[in-house]
Structure 1
Amino acid sequence: MDAVVHLAAVARVRESFLDPLPYYETNVGGTLNLLKALKGQRFLLASTGTVYRPSDAVLTEDSVREPSSPYAASKAAAEDLVAWAARSGQIGATTLRLFNVAGGGDTDTTRVITRAVACAAGTVPGMEVYGDGGAVRDFVHVRDVAAAFVVALEACSVGTSSVYNVGATAASVRDVLDAVAEVTGRTVDVTWKPAVPGEIRSLRADASRLRALGWEPRSSALTEIVRDQWLASAPVPGPDPSR
């Protein structure tokens, strides 16, 4: 076995506040169990940009980690576990802090692009937006994430540990709604609600470290991400019953 890519996790931020234990059980305990079975392989951990302290500044891999949810804290703990295993010489480790991945037909409608596209498709009744819709996140197409996995693993060797941000396109919630309307020709039914206290206003990634390895996001324009999510998840029209 040449390399292991570890994607398995539970990953709903708001849900993790209500029931944090499964997040540690799966995201930390599952990583530990997997590492116990490895010796001499390269190992890639899919982590999250939410491990960082929220900041209006663009985040680099050296920005302060300060997880603001049980989910993020469990992923930070898994990062540390993987890094220590690499330092011991057991594995070679690369951790990718993924920001908002979309475009591949995701079905988790707690995520903003997935929810907005599902609303446009009529498969969910509506969408709640908290605040003014100005909160900014960094989005990246799943195809570009797959390319990042390959690039990061090629630079990895046993006994070393590296961390890379994976993000490409900064956009607000309103930008997402506008892109969905442009791509689908349909408006999204939005219920506007008061901002959640402490909600992170901006989470943007500096991916220059990964770009230095040769990675370039090629599919992560916002309209392309939305279009591919729409094509992958919009219901296919059935036969015309009048014929």
Structure 2
Amino acid sequence: MTGAYGFVGNAVVRRLSEAGHEVVALTHRPADVPLPELPVFETFRGDIRDGKALAAALDGVEGVCHLAALTRVRESFDRPEEYQEVNAGGTAVLLDVLAAVSPSPAPRVVLGSTAAVYGAPVRQPIGEDTVPAPGNPYGVSKLAADDALRARAEAGAVKAVSLRCFNVSGAVSGVGDADESRIIPKAVAVAAGRYPHLEMNGDGDAVRDFVHVDDLARAFTLALEAGTSAPYRVYNVGATAASMREIVATVERVTGRPVPVVHRPPQPEPPRLVADISRITTDLGWTPVQSSLERLVADAWSVVSGSRGQGLFQRP
């Protein structure tokens, strides 16, 4: 498991452990940084581009969940080369090393990809057959990672799945999304009094698709365990369509606190980006069960407000 100690990685590790898997973790956190408690069999430290670290971590594994990546869209415009090196280059290094240490039988690889590879298609909801047209360096780098994985799978080196995740939120075991450039983390931080207001482009009618991190973790587990004969599959993972205004209203309702909004001039952005999840439902039997807007906000709020644990609700 790469990126095991991140926001999504934390949830995936827990689901894999519950399913009976022994998880070997790779993290880029330095040796002098203590790691939070996770149910992992062993932990290795190293960069995803470091072949030696990967060789040690991948030796003997039967499958890989690959989540190590740079993920901030706005930041990617300032650091496009680094995003390409880590997201695309790191994936290529991982696949090279995996071929060397686990040549037979073909291991299974599940890549945490992103809906950003689609760009802003007119047709909604977005199906996996949509021609990718990423509109930022982050999406470009992740599409390159998808393509690298597809090529290795079609060559018979791996069995592979790319999970194209939409907007992930919520929390598992007190670990939420710390990226306050995203709407739900920022809105709950405003409700907590950490910021005076939330800035919103235009009237807030833009609609995006959100999925709970634990629902996403179940998708990773199902994809890893699936007995499909196809060498490579792509699945969208989304759940709940909501506008920016709906999110703010839900944060105020769940927290009982105001979220002052400062409206900025409208920006050229797609009015609606939502997922067609019929393929993953049909193939893997996955459906979101924890991704109501109220649950997404409540679990994110539980972390910001200091209520550790699963969140305000109990996980099924």
Aligned match of 1:16 = 76
Aligned partners of 1:20 and 1:190: how far apart in 2? 31
Aligned partners of 2:188 and 2:300: how far apart in 1? 7
Aligned partners of 2:304 and 2:131: how far apart in 1? 37
Aligned match of 2:141 = 74
Distance 1:85 1:24, change over 3 A: same
Aligned partners of 1:58 and 1:157: how far apart in 2? 25
CA contact (8 A) 1:47 1:95 kept: yes
Identity over the aligned pairs, expressed in percent? 49
Question: In the alignment, is residue 129 of structure 1 matched against residue 200 of structure 2?
Answer: yes
Aligned partners of 1:84 and 1:123: how far apart in 2? 46
Aligned match of 1:99 = 166
TM-score of the aligned structures, taking structure 1 as reference length: 0.93
Aligned match of 1:149 = 220
Distance 1:157 1:2, change over 3 A: farther
Superposed CA offset, 1:115-141 (max 9, x none): 101111112332210111001000000
What 5-or-longer segments of structure 1 have no aligned partner? Answer: 237-243
> Which of 12, 32, 36 is the aligned partner of 2:96?
36
Distance 1:129 1:176, change over 3 A: same
> Which of 251, 259, 268 is the aligned partner of 1:188?
259
Aligned match of 1:231 = 302
Which shifted more, 11-20 or 200-209? 11-20
Distance 1:28 1:158, change over 3 A: farther
Q: Per-residue deviation at 1:156?
A: 5.2
Aligned partners of 1:22 and 1:234: how far apart in 2? 34
Question: In the alignment, is residue 163 of structure 1 matched against residue 244 of structure 2?
Answer: no
Aligned partners of 2:130 and 2:228: how far apart in 1? 24
Q: Per-residue deviation at 1:73?
A: 0.6
Aligned AA (1:204): V
Aligned partners of 1:222 and 1:166: how far apart in 2? 16
Aligned partners of 2:111 and 2:201: how far apart in 1? 31
TM-score of the aligned structures, taking structure 2 as reference length: 0.72
CA contact (8 A) 1:152 1:210 kept: no
Question: In the alignment, is residue 203 of structure 1 matched against residue 203 of structure 2?
Answer: no
Aligned partners of 2:206 and 2:271: how far apart in 1? 5
Aligned partners of 1:7 and 1:49: how far apart in 2? 15
> Which of 81, 94, 112 is the aligned partner of 1:46?
112
Superposed CA offset, 1:164-213 (max 9, x none): 0000000000010011011000111211101123x222110001111112
Q: Per-residue deviation at 1:19?
A: 2.1
Per the alignment, in what secondary structure is the counterpart of residue 47 of structure 1? strand
Aligned match of 1:241 = none
Q: Per-residue deviation at 1:53?
A: 3.7
Aligned partners of 2:114 and 2:141: how far apart in 1? 10
Per the alignment, in what secondary structure is the counterpart of residue 280 of structure 2? helix
Aligned match of 1:239 = none
CA contact (8 A) 1:45 1:95 kept: yes
What 5-or-longer segments of structure 2 have no aligned partner? Answer: 1-60, 100-105, 308-316
Aligned residues: 235
Q: Relative contact order, CA 8 A, sep 6+: which one is greater?
A: 1
Which shifted more, 214-223 or 8-17? 8-17
Aligned AA (1:191): V
Aligned AA (1:100): N
Aligned match of 2:211 = 140
Q: Per-residue deviation at 1:159?
A: 6.9
Aligned partners of 1:43 and 1:156: how far apart in 2? 13
Aligned partners of 2:196 and 2:159: how far apart in 1? 46
